[in-house]
């Protein structure tokens, strides 16, 4: 399964009552497909998965598969910090017709490396779907070592990893020691270009909600050998990427989408709406970027 270069970790739109807004979700899906997204991750952290019920997740899986209608692959976030629960959610995702699943490192319970290996292998063995591993020590409080990822790459349907450790040395080791058909994606928007430079496949992105086409252009320039232009584009995009993480995700990106006329509503507690000071800075950065592009 080829997930492309830009995999967008999609927000979950909510209505004024805090329920999933499926009309807004359809609009968002079409916006993302038209603006640089090669694949979509649904019910990940950016999709506020910790606040979604099982029933909401399954409904979101089914709806997204229906609306994408095969235009782009759909990857369902089915990883939890319980192996059995992850297997159950994966089964629902497979029945919904998704194209792959993303499994995050188990948070809070801090398993050892062998525990991580057994967790991911056990889940992968229950499904025919391609599996994207997700290493994010900053949120899960456990780091999956390169050696563990390299071992897991031997499992036939574990095909890729979203690496959000920020450790380029570890990423290089993973790329160097896994099969050619195993891919690595940056889990940090600001490292998309550096990760490409060491052999990565692309980025699982939050910022692509608002700068997806620009990120695609940067990647195409890099792959075409226009390295100076790609580097300039990277530097121009960094201020927006910085603002996308000026407050807990996905508060800033939801605010940015609402400002751009792509209505996605607010966030669920314990995440708070973007503070007014941050919102003004975000408006200024978006306006400056728009003027620069024009």
Query: Which amino acids are annotated catalytic?
Result: 134, 162
What span, in angstroms and rounded, lies between the C-alpha atoms of 260 and 68?
Answer: 22
What span, in angstroms and rounded, lies between the C-alpha atoms of 26 and 164?
Answer: 28
Residue 92 in contact with residue 57, Cβ under 8 Å?
yes
What span, in angstroms and rounded, lies between the C-alpha atoms of 109 and 106?
Answer: 7
Report helix angle 208-223 to 227-243, nearest 10. Answer: 160
Residue 179 in contact with residue 151, Cβ under 8 Å?
no
Name which of 89, 86, 91 is nearest 104 in CA terms: 86
What span, in angstroms and rounded, lies between the C-alpha atoms of 8 and 64?
Answer: 13
Residues with Cβ within 8 Å of residue 229, at least 6 apart in sequence: 221
């Amino acid at each position: 399964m080829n997930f492309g270069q830009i995999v967008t970790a999609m927000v979950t739109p909510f209505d004024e009552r805090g329920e999933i807004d499926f009309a807004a979700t359809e609009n968002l899906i079409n916006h993302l497909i038209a603006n640089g997204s090669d694949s979509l991750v649904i019910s990940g952290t950016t999709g506020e998965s910790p606040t979604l019920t099982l029933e909401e997740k399954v409904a979101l899986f089914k709806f997204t598969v229906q609306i994408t209608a095969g235009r782009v692959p759909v990857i369902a976030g089915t990883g939890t910090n319980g192996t059995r629960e992850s297997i159950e959610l994966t089964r629902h995702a497979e029945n919904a017709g998704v194209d792959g699943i993303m499994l995050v490192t188990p948070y809070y319970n801090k398993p050892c490396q062998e525990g991580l290996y057994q967790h991911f292998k056990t889940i992968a063995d229950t499904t025919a779907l391609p599996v994207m591993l997700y290493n994010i020590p900053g949120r899960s409080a456990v780091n999956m070592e390169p050696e563990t990822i390299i071992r897991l790459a031997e499992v036939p349907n574990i095909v890729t990893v979203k690496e959000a450790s920020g450790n380029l040395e570890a990423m290089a080791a993973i790329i160097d020691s896994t099969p050619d058909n195993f891919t690595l994606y940056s889990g940090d928007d600001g490292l998309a270009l550096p990760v490409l430079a060491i052999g990565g496949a692309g980025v699982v992105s939050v910022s692509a909600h608002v700068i997806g086409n620009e990120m695609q252009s940067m990647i195409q320039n890099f792959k075409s050998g226009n390295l100076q232009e790609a580097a300039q584009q990277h530097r121009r995009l960094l201020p927006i990427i910085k603002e996308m993480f000026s407050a807990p995700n996905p508060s800033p990106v939801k605010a940015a989408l609402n400002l751009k006329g792509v209505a996605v509503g607010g966030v669920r507690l314990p995440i708070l709406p973007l503070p007014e000071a941050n919102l003004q800075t975000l408006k200024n950065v978006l306006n400056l970027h728009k003027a620069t592009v024009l």
